[in-house]
Structure 1
Amino acid sequence: MYKIKNSIKKSLEFIKDGVRSSKSVILANVIILFIITPLMVTLTRFILRMGDIPYLSYDTVGLIVFHHPIVLCLLIMMLFLLVSTIYFEYTFLLLTMYFIKNKVAISLRQLARETIVQMKKLKVNNFLFFLCYFILLSPLGAIRFHSDLLSKFKIPVFIVDFIFENRVIFVVLFILVYVSLIVVAIRLMFTLPLMILKDYTFKEASKISWQQTKKHFKSIVLQFVFVIGTIAVIALIVNGLVIGIQELADTYYQHQSFYVAIVLLTLLQFNWVVNLVLTTIGIFFITISNMDKLGYLPDIKEIFSSVNQTTYRKISWPQKAMLTLGGVWLVISVLSYNYLFLTQPSIHRPLTISHRGVDNGNHVQNSIEALEMTSKDTRPNFIEMDVQETKDKEFIVMHDFKLNHLIQQKGRPNEFTLKELQEMTAKEHGKEAKLVSFDDYLKRAQELDQKLLIEIKATKQDSPDMIDRFIQKYYSIIKEEGHEIQSLSFDVVKELKEKKPDLYVGYIMPFTLAGTPEGDMDFYSVEYTTLTKNLVQTMHNQDKKVYVWTLNDTDTMNRMIFYGVDGVITDNMTLLNSVLSRDIKATTYADKLLYFLIGMG
């Protein structure tokens, strides 16, 4: 009973401190979200443009490292600036909670000045530890403060699916690593605060943190679970009530539902800000509270003797006027955005694209049988399929770069001739099918009058003239039949558009860290977990189409259609046709609020 009462007391104290520190948290996130992040993206794109590098992706890394040393040095400097900014944010928020814990009134100007003072004392050990702890450990271990900069680094779902699919040992190892990182993150949670607040060396701070958290590990874990869990539950309840109220308004008060939606969307945004503030300071609250309990929190006079410990400086009339104007501008901006979000969704019917030619596991991927069944039964606008070069410079229809998954044979497709590959049998979904040449697949698609979205799977082993031969052999039929091409290799996309500008070619983007690439591609193909409505709008402003992959559930399909995507790639064409069979413009306001909540607009 004592532990429960103590936990409730701590939670109430945390909420009170959260309200007091909200101004600092919001200010830090606003500066980073609207100033630092756009600036860094712009600088990164400028640096890449200096080296005539269109995009930061896996296939441009080698080019940058070996042929553009100046660009490499500048990008390293950008990484240093990024980590320094996140370190500043961390220190700023740590000091915020420290002063609140010591009941010290401090202005934002003083807080920023003291943060800069601490930054000037930054040692190499502090910086390296921060780099490892918050960029390598925390995003995976889920023990980190919320940062709009760090939130850019997330693992797309398709990578997680690839790791987990039919790989039990990887699932076990992933869980073990995940749990281990959480444990390490907690055991070292006092290290950086001790280095900042008490000027301890890394060795001293990490030793103390490791020893003290060993003694109080269970208590600290319970605090994290209780505090963060409480925040999540409250946010979930509020969001659920908002969506429920909007559904009632859509059903029974249709004439007023739009005005209700504007109010409730604003409430959702407010709830998001509150959740952001509380989540952000959660780790600092727990850290500072435990340091104080263990006697490792320094006295305010030891390190901040110049700080005003009584009252905040009074706000002048000019400052009040600026704050008032800022508040009015914020309200107008929010309401204008909400109005546009609810009234101009740019909904249109997207192209339907069958992923690897299958429909809900009807046959083996990339097989003639799947092509025939899916084309006849669901009639997609396009069937997406994969092409790789073989050992004898022909083309085989296959997705995987290794044969062991579908064929149960060692080796890569480019280590075998086309004839050898055509004798192999792929097994999937309880079905069997022979591997097929691109020529045969293309011919059967022509007979079925079925358009294809051809993905060229490039490898380092491909012959130098692979694209030239592909164009020479298939250009005419691709143009005649209206097929489209896409590739994960930017070099392939660039070469195709340079040599045959009239081909319709897209670039597959698994990540969106540094904005969209510059180039002559006709469309982007984007993994759905990294796609937002704003990104779709940005791509459309560049006069590029947006295809999204791989959508296999009704809610995600509806959300992406609401975002205004131009093509949906799915493993379940039957489901997609069902979703599109209703009036896609009949999306309710409750749906729109939910889509905003999921994708944050």
Structure 2
Amino acid sequence: MPPYTGNMQIQTPSKLGVWRTTTALLREAWALVRAGNSRLLGLILASQLIILGVALPVLGWLFREALRAGGMTGLDLGALGPQRGFTLTLALILVIVTLAFWLISLQFTALLVMLQRPSIGLRDLARELGRVARKLLRPGSLSLVLYLFLLLPLSGFGFTSALTRGIAIPSFISGELLKSTSSAIALAVFLLVLAWLNLRLALTVPIFVMTQGRRAARWSWRLTRGFRTWLPLVLAITAVLVLGGFGATALTLISVLPILLSDAIAPAASHVIAAYSLGAAQVLGILLNGVVTAAVGGILIAKVRSVAASTPEFPPLVHALALPTAAAASTPLRPDGAPRTSRRPALAVIALAILATIGFGTSAVDTLQRLSNAPATLALAHRGFSDGGVENTISGLEAAHAAGADLVEMDVMQTKDGRFVAMHDATLGRLAGRPDAVKDLTFDELTAITVHDAHGHEDRIPAFADYVTLAKQLGMPLLIEIKLGGAETPDHVERLVDELEQLDALESNIYHSLDPVSVDRLKRLRPDLAVGYTMAFAAVAAPETPADFIVPEEWSATEQLQHSADQAGLAFMVWTVNDEPGMRELLRRGVDGIISDHPDRVMDLRTGMQQEAGLAGMLVDAVSRFVTIV
């Protein structure tokens, strides 16, 4: 196929309607991707493998060294603060962020260059990467950091990279915001603003790469002004993402076929076949993600070209990017007049894909053997069962018991007069519509207040003793979280232990807290109790803690952290997991407990996995995890 030189001109929205402009954008994007052929696929696969196999491990090593410089084995935001080596740690983390930013920028640059010059040689490609790398040294490129690391991954509109995957609003934040109407509206407005900003800045990277000029973000903002300008971009990119989603679904179904056959014919070999099926799905998933990203890039390139042709003051396109290379222009022709194309790039891509499949598959054999085991994960009802009652109330506790939860996670907080109530929030705004803080009200005042939730449930704030007593009568063990609301006395842990001993309920429950001081104090008082350390954000390795288990938030509850906890002899529970894919992944990984607002779903999934025959269901979950269109 002859190199595509971008001769097709897309007319401005004033000359074409929205639908015709959208069609023209899709047509040129497809032509760009198609012209890239096997060379484009090779770039996609090679760049992602380099990032996964080289860049991420190196960045991970640098991050561990940065933490070690501060005297930490893992990142724990709850214990992070000024200390010896903290400045060096912060400086090293900034270096890591800078390196990651450069890698992402150069990865996108290579993709855009390849789309415009599909026959470019490695020397010319390196020259273009060097040109963009020099531009990244300019102060004006700093705005790209926020765009590439926050705006782009948070709104999921445009380019994707293994370096930015996983950047998202943590579910414990979004989940809390969705529990009240006002905060849910605020979250929706925030997400809409993010989407709008990303749309208006969608041309930033192509303009930055394709021109020698500066102020790429300003030009993008200007060029996406007006309904007829931005709507075709939205429609075209949405069409590409929808098609990519269909492709991911088809890939998942195809990858499961071999395991269905092996389950029926050779069950003993199923885990090996599943591993290599997963390896193939990972490679094809990388290619599918890359093609979708390339198609989005083609749409944006087409838009920039149309603007360059119709806007005199627009910075000129880099000449080397607008024309085919000399080598491509002199490609020898076959007798029928078509250019002679070499099969070597295609063969090289096939060989690389096979090697990657073997590598991914071999590394996954032991993992899939472990994941095939039936999960015994505990299902914990988060603050009771919100489908049947207000959180941390008697009705919520009774609903959790009726649903069959293994444990109920609940919160205890001290009042102004030093007594205890079941309460999570430090203020009453969300649950009672009052501006009061818990620390400013007495026990009697608090237990007389009615709380309500978005589901229409109502109940009174319960005394901690009443909550624990009912749980004991129901035979429902509790995971009691010690919350700090500002009124806690210096001996609040001792007082809590005394109250539980008087209720004869101390040893029948387990405990956790975000406050490391409270965790340490409780373990010192009663070493025989099961106490957990809750972590809002953790990374790399389990912390040094006297606790018996850790409770990381779902966003940072990685396999690496789970493995580190296991090596340290710590149990591993995760909060707050409310989406089914997250539940399925953690059940497959065999975590010790899942804290969820929907413990009934966790139990249903657990039962289904325990009754599975064969490995097809496990493979579907594994493929769904790795093959993702962002």
| Residue pair 2:67, 2:89 contacting (<8 A) in 1 also | no
Cα distance change on mapping 1:407 and 1:480 into 2, 3 Å: closer
Question: Which residue matches 1:160?
Answer: 174
How big is the shift at 1:560? 2.8
- Superposed, 1:266-415 pairs within 5 Å as 266-293=279-306, 294-295=308-309, 296-300=316-320, 330-345=356-371, 346-358=373-385, 361-372=387-398, 374-375=400-401, 377=402, 380-415=405-440
Opposite residue 43 of structure 1, the aligned amino acid is L
Distance 1:14 1:302 in 2: 16
Give the Cα separation in 1 of the matches to 2:598 and 2:234.
41
| Change over 3 Å in CA distance of 1:93–1:309 after alignment to 2 | farther
CA distance in 1, matches of 2:175, 2:377: 25
C-alpha distance in structure 1 between counterparts of 2:146 and 2:421, whole Å = 43
**Secondary structure in structure 1 of the residue aligned to 2:594:** strand
Tell me which of 142, 155, 175 is aligned to 1:128: 142
Unmatched runs of 5 consecutive residues or more in structure 2 = 1-18, 310-315, 332-347
Structure 1 residue 305, shift from structure 2 partner:
11
Task: For 1:352-501, list aligned pairs within 5 A.
Answer: 352-358=379-385, 361-372=387-398, 374-375=400-401, 377=402, 380-428=405-453, 431-459=457-485, 462-471=488-497, 474=500, 481-497=507-523, 500-501=526-527
Letter in 2 for 1:102: R
* 1:210 match: 221
How far 1:125 sits from its partner (Å)? 3.0
Counterpart contact for 2:200–2:221, Cα < 8 Å: yes
**Residue in 1 that maps onto 2:251:** 238
1:595 lines up with 2:614 in the alignment: no
1:26 aligns with 2:26: no
Question: Which of 391-400 and 213-222 deviates more?
Answer: 213-222
5 Å matches for 1:67-78?
70-72=85-87, 74-78=89-93
Give the C-alpha shift of residue 306 in structure 1: 12
CA distance in 1, matches of 2:399, 2:370: 38
Q: Tell me the SS of whatever aligns to 2:466.
A: helix
Higher relative contact order (CA 8 A, sep 6+): 2
1:8-47 correspondence to structure 2 within 5 Å: 8=27, 10-17=29-36, 19-47=38-66
Among residues 108, 114, 121, which one is paired with 1:93 in the alignment?
108
Decide which moves more: 473-482 or 130-139. Answer: 473-482
List alignment gaps of at least 5 residues for structure 1: 312-321
Would the aligned equivalents of 2:416 and 2:487 in 1 still touch at CA under 8 Å?
Answer: no
CA contact under 8 A between 1:425 and 1:433: conserved in structure 2? yes
Q: Which residue of 1 aligns with 2:589?
A: 563
Moved more, 475-484 or 150-159: 475-484
Verify: 1:147 aligned to 2:161, yes or no: yes
Contact persistence 1:249–1:256 (CA under 8 A): no
Deviation, 1:291, is 3.0
Q: Distance in 2 between matches of 1:325 and 1:19?
A: 12
**Partners of 2:223 and 2:601 in 1: CA distance:** 54
- 1:66-101 per-residue CA deviation (whole Å, 9 max, x = no partner) reads x56x51453244234313422333234314432541
Equivalent position of 1:317 in the other structure: none
Contact kept in structure 2, 1:94 and 1:284, CA below 8 Å: no
Q: What letter is aligned with 1:165?
A: K
Which residue type is aligned with residue 200 of structure 1?
G
Q: Is the 8 A contact 2:285 2:626 kept in 1?
A: no
Give the match for residue 529 of structure 2. Answer: 503
Name the aligned partner's letter for residue 212 of structure 2. D
Residue correspondence of structure 1 range 510-529 to structure 2 within 5 A: 510-528=536-554
C-alpha separation between the residues in 2 aligned to 1:521 and 1:276? 41
One-letter amino acid matched to 1:357: G
Query: Residues 463 and 29 from structure 1, CA distance in 2 versus in 1: closer, same or farther, beyond 3 angstroms?
Result: farther
In structure 2, distance between residues paired with 1:151 and 1:513 = 15
TM-score with structure 1 setting the length = 0.82
Q: Aligned equivalents of 1:143 and 1:430: distance in 2?
A: 36
SS in structure 2 opposite 1:386?
Answer: strand
| Contact 1:453 1:483 (C-alpha < 8 Å) held by counterparts | yes
1:587–1:600 CA distance, 2 compared to 1 (3 A)? farther
8 A Cα contact 1:96 1:111, kept in partner: no
Q: Which range moved further: 365-374 or 122-131?
A: 365-374
1:444-482 CA distance string (max 9 Å, x none) = 434444322111122455444433544565579789524
In structure 1, C-alpha distance between the alignment counterparts of 2:448 and 2:187, rounded to whole Å: 36
Determine if contact 1:347/1:563 at 8 Å carries over to the other structure. no
AA of the residue aligned to 1:298: V
- Corresponding residue number in structure 2 for 1:319: none
Larger deviation: 259-268 or 395-404?
259-268
Deviates more, 1:530-539 or 1:119-128: 530-539
**Residue identity in the other structure for 2:116:** K
Q: 1:191 to 1:332 in 2, by over 3 A?
A: closer
Q: Which amino acid aligns with 1:391?
A: K
- Distance in 2, matches of 1:307 and 1:491, equals 68
Secondary structure, counterpart of 1:227 in structure 2: helix
Residue 315 of structure 1 corresponds to which residue in structure 2?
Answer: none
Question: What do the CA deviations read for 1:410-468 (whole angstroms, capped 9, x no partner)?
Answer: 31211112222122233455554332232333344344443221111224554444335
Cα distance in 2, alignment partners of residues 166 and 308 from structure 1: 60
Q: Work out the percentage of aligned pairs sharing the same amino acid.
A: 23
**Number of residue equivalences:** 581
Report how far residue 390 of structure 1 moved.
Answer: 1.4
Question: How far off its partner does 1:386 sit?
Answer: 0.6
Cα pair 2:117 2:325 within 8 Å, conserved: no
Three-state SS of the structure 2 residue aligned to 1:508 is strand
Q: Distance in 1 between matches of 2:202 and 2:413?
A: 48
Aligned CA distance change for structure 1 residues 56 and 441 (closer, same or farther; 3 Å): same
The answer for the alignment partner of 1:314 in structure 2 is none
Partner Cα distance (1:302, 1:430) in 2 = 61
Larger deviation, residues 550-559 vs 276-285: 550-559
Answer with 144-153 or 567-576: which moved more. Answer: 567-576
Q: Closer, same or farther in 2 for the Cα pair 1:18/1:451, shift >3 Å?
A: farther
Residues 1:227 and 2:227 are matched in the alignment: no
Q: What is the identity, as a one-letter code, of the residue corresponding to 2:421?
A: I
The answer on whether the counterparts of 1:105 and 1:309 sit within 8 Å (CA) in structure 2 is no
Alignment-mate amino acid for residue 91 of structure 1: L
